[in-house]
Amino acid sequence: MPPTPALVADRGYDAQAIIDLVAARGGGAHIPAQKDRKIPRSIDPALYRQRNQGERFFCKLKHFRRVATRFDQLARNFLAAVILASTRLWIRTYEATA
């Protein structure tokens, strides 16, 4: 995969090896530091908020049984199920804000 300019992850991925790998590929790691680090890193709150929204979306997506259990064996059928479930989630969100 091509490198991305920013890798946003949660505290569980706060390992120096991961941060060095991202830096070696030309990206920046936006990962909050573990509480026991001597020198904490600062992160952009707006980027971290976007990561949280993405995680919440995937959590909602897993509520669809067909997606969560990977019921479909063909990749194209699974992708179609993910697209349908994502569309339903988007419509629900759009109706709630309208």
Q: Do 84 and 37 fall within a single domain?
A: no
Q: Is 78 exposed, middle or buried (0-12, 13-18, 19+ CB in 10 A)?
A: middle
Q: Do 95 and 67 fall within a single domain?
A: yes
Q: Do 43 and 79 fall within a single domain?
A: no
Distance CA 34, CA 46 (A): 19
Rg (Cα) of the chain, in Å, rounded?
17
Which residues are paired to 8 by β-bridges? Answer: 30
Q: Do 36 and 74 fall within a single domain?
A: no
List, for residues 46-78, the tens digit of each pLDDT value.
888 888 888 899 999 999 988 888 888 899 999
Is this structure's pTM higher than 0.75? no
How many domains does the structure of the chain reveal? Answer: 2
Q: Do 70 and 45 fall within a single domain?
A: no
- The residue segments making up the domain with residue 4 are 1-53
List, for residues 16-39, the tens digit of each pLDDT value.
899 898 889 888 888 888 888 888
